[in-house]
Amino acid sequence: MAEVVGLVASAFTLGEVAIKVIKLKKIYSDIRNVPTYIKKQLDELEVLSAIITEIEAEAEIDGLQGTTFGAMTLRYCKSATDELDELLQDLDKALQSPRRLRRTATKVKVALDQESLVKAGKHLDSARQSLQLAMTLKTYSLTKKIPERMASMYLVQRADVANPVTSSSLENQVTPSLMNEESFNLVSMPDFRDLRWSTRSYFGNITTSKRYQTVQERSGEIRKVQVSQARIRLPSWLSRTVWDILAYESSGAMMWKISTWNVRPRSSEIFKAARSGDLNTINSLILSGKASLYDRDEYGFTLLHYAILYGYVVTATSLMKMGHPVREQDTSGCLPFDFFYRTTSLANSEVSEVSEFVALMISSGDFSDEFQLLPSLGSNLARGTFWITVLKTVVWSIPGAMKLMINEMSGDFRQLPLARQFESFSWYVVEFDTLDDILFENQWSIDGLRSMMDDSRPDQSLHSFVEIYFTQYRDNSGTQKHNTIHTGRINDFTQRFLSGISVNTLTQRREYIHTTPLLNAIADKVKSLHGRTRSRAWERNLTIPIHNFLEDVSRAGINLVEYGRKELSLLMSTESARSVRYAFTDYNSRWSTIGPYLVSMKYGPNPEDWEYIWDYMVEEFAGDFWEMVDNPPLAIPGGWVD
């Protein structure tokens, strides 16, 4: 009898919480100066109330209502109800003036004084803390029942195998509350996503979120459902287990999921194995029970975070095949995918391995919302997170990624205007071997790509194309190394891309950049040649990409004599190109040293005829030297040297 009374009282109390939250949201909708944090607190209370309601249903099955934890949970829920009731009374008094009543009757929003808003915020915060404590107690009590529930499920499964169920025996069978028929009608079910990891706390903490997700049922009906999530971290002195709870409504019935994470030190063997890409050690630790696939460190790094960060693509792929989640965030909000292009170890991976990793990553995680942004993202990176930029890089550089993106998008990507299809295109992220496949698959032509060159966007301009040519080009002797995971030559693409371009277009200067595409690429290349200035080796290393680029220009049908004449004319008429020293930059120490002046250039019908003339003009410092010798600095009276 005590269990029944406790269950009814708890359900009634939680029902009161939900009703009072709805009333408060309705009242605050008629007040015009409600702060954002109050609205957020109300949303969190609504999520907490919905999740605790589902936990109560689970507690009914496990018989937890008559326990000490059940009584304490009821007490905290009652405390939250009292706080909300007191807040409703305060708001009722604050809005009882005739003037405000007339405003409400005429649908004009009223305003509350600052003292009332501060007091309301305190009431809501107190109610939220009470519900958090109630959820912590209820979750902890459920953990103690997990072994018993698993054993009972195992016995039920064995009984089902021993006594097969026939169609006649199902006619009058009652379906359990947590195994209702609606749960079997879903082809795709909402999953945990985009919950940032929270640091440990002596009192515990909780993170909540609410989103809408499209769910397709077996009947073919597509519905948009509201998904509520909560991440509960128990007090650090009580448990190192973190609980993720998800609840949503399906065909009139509430469904929910629970998963857990184990928090381990960063120095644990499982994380060392992930950082070294040792898949055998990871498997042995998991099979022996010394570690788990769902282990995380204090900063929220998962095994997948470490594997990708240290460039072990094969290990990361194996972890995803084992069922590792792909959309988990660390304390800074970074997904594992964020670290895909931050590592230099990818150079040791095969193209097929990287392609398999990307395909599995996209298929394992729901990236449809982010893919929808790509045709409108462009170069405005502020509109998306950093990892969306990584996603854009993957689409234009990894074989097959563009096709996966198109399949994930809800609309027909190929029906968009050409400018929209190329909106996310950037020379800085493209891989030329992959670009040929993308053009062929989408029936895009080189002429169409050339027409999309937008000088207003630096990453789509001809300047950027020539700059990337100098950066990525690798000559036959292997003098220059390719800086991406691919090593294909770009000569053939360059010849096709420049075919039909006039000399005026090839030497056109952009706004705010007073140099031609070739000279701009040369200036950028000089910056990376630090450390070779004494032997003038940088000039020889600079000559190689210049001559190879000119060879591709010549094969594209452009007259090198006419091209050189135009380049020389623009160089001599551009004072800023000849009056500044080109700096050598050491990117390791971020130190720049003074480089040479570009004095002039020579050109001819063959690439070997071209030569850029540089001069350090050290004599300009001679006058300063002799001036300092003739007029030394005055000695300071009382100094060491008189």
Strand, coil or helix: what is 502?
coil
Strand, coil or helix: what is 493?
helix
User: Amino acid letter at 220?
Assistant: G
Measured CA angle at 510 (ends 506, 515), to 5 deg: 70
CB-based burial label for 171 (10 Å; 0-12, 13-18, 19+) = exposed
More confident residue, 511 or 499: 499
DSSP assigned state of 108:
P
Token match 């507690």: residue?
Answer: 59
Specify the DSSP element, H or E, that contains 597.
Answer: strand 597-602
Domains of the chain: 2-155 (no CATH), 184-263 (no CATH), 269-351 (1.25.40.20), 461-642 (no CATH)
Q: What is the largest CA-CA distance in the chain?
A: 115
Q: For 512, left (φ over 0), alpha (ψ -120 to 50), or beta?
A: left
Strand, coil or helix: what is 534?
coil
What is the Cα–Cα distance from 591 to 587, expressed in whole angstroms? 7
pLDDT band, residue 454 (cuts 50/70/90): low
If one counts every other C-beta atom within 10 angstroms of the C-beta of residue 620, the result is 9
pLDDT (tens digit per residue) in 603-630: 999 999 999 988 876 666 666 666 777 7
pLDDT (tens digit per residue) in 324-359: 888 888 888 888 888 876 554 555 677 788 888 888
Q: For 238, left (φ over 0), alpha (ψ -120 to 50), or beta?
A: alpha
Specify the pLDDT at position 276.
92
pLDDT band, residue 176 (cuts 50/70/90): very low
If one counts every other C-beta atom within 10 angstroms of the C-beta of residue 304, the result is 24
CB 392 within 8 A of CB 419: no
pLDDT band, residue 84 (cuts 50/70/90): low
Distances (CA, A) of 290 to 265, 299, 316: 13, 20, 20
Which string of DSSP letters, residue by residue, matches 433-475? HHHHHHHHHTT--HHHHHHT--TTSGGGSHHHHHHHHHHH---
Specify the pLDDT at position 274.
94
Going 536 to 542 to 548 to 554, the CA torsion angle's sign is negative
Strand, coil or helix: what is 388?
helix
If one counts every other C-beta atom within 10 angstroms of the C-beta of residue 596, the result is 19
Close Cβ partners of 461 (under 8 Å, ≥ 6 residues apart): 427, 453, 454, 455, 510, 517
Cβ-defined contacts of 206-211 (< 8 Å, 24+): 206/48, 206/132, 206/135, 206/136, 206/230, 206/231, 206/232, 206/233, 207/231, 208/43, 208/44, 208/47, 208/48, 209/47, 210/43, 210/47
Token match 């210049």: residue?
Answer: 546
Of the candidates 124, 127, 117, 79, the one whose C-alpha atom is nearest the C-alpha of residue 95 is: 117
Distances (CA, A) of 289 to 142, 154, 265, 318: 22, 20, 16, 19
Specify the pLDDT at position 159.
40
Percent with pLDDT over 90 in the chain? 13
Name the most confidently modeled range: 225-239, 539-553, 582-596. 539-553
pLDDT (tens digit per residue) in 264-302: 999 999 999 999 999 999 999 998 989 999 999 989 999
pLDDT (tens digit per residue) in 530-571: 555 555 677 888 888 899 999 999 999 999 999 999 999 998
Close Cβ partners of 146 (under 8 Å, ≥ 6 residues apart): none
Of the candidates 419, 404, 548, 574, the one whose C-alpha atom is nearest the C-alpha of residue 489 is: 548
Specify the pLDDT at position 103.
42
What is the Cα–Cα distance from 55 to 141, expressed in whole angstroms? 11
Specify the pLDDT at position 207.
81
pLDDT band, residue 307 (cuts 50/70/90): very high
Q: Torsion angle, CA of 118/124/129/133, rounded to 10 degrees?
A: 160
Specify the pLDDT at position 546.
92
Specify the pLDDT at position 2.
37
pTM (predicted TM-score): 0.59
pLDDT (tens digit per residue) in 132-156: 666 666 665 655 554 444 333 333 3
Question: Could you give phi then psi for residue 31, rounded to 5 degrees?
Answer: -115, 130
Instruction: Give mean pLDDT, residues 387-393.
Output: 71
Which string of DSSP letters, residue by residue, matches 550-571? HHHHHHTT--HHHHHHHHHHHH
More confident residue, 185 or 209: 209
More confident residue, 588 or 307: 307
Going 566 to 572 to 576 to 580, the CA torsion angle's sign is positive
Instruction: Give mean pLDDT, residues 455-483.
Output: 67
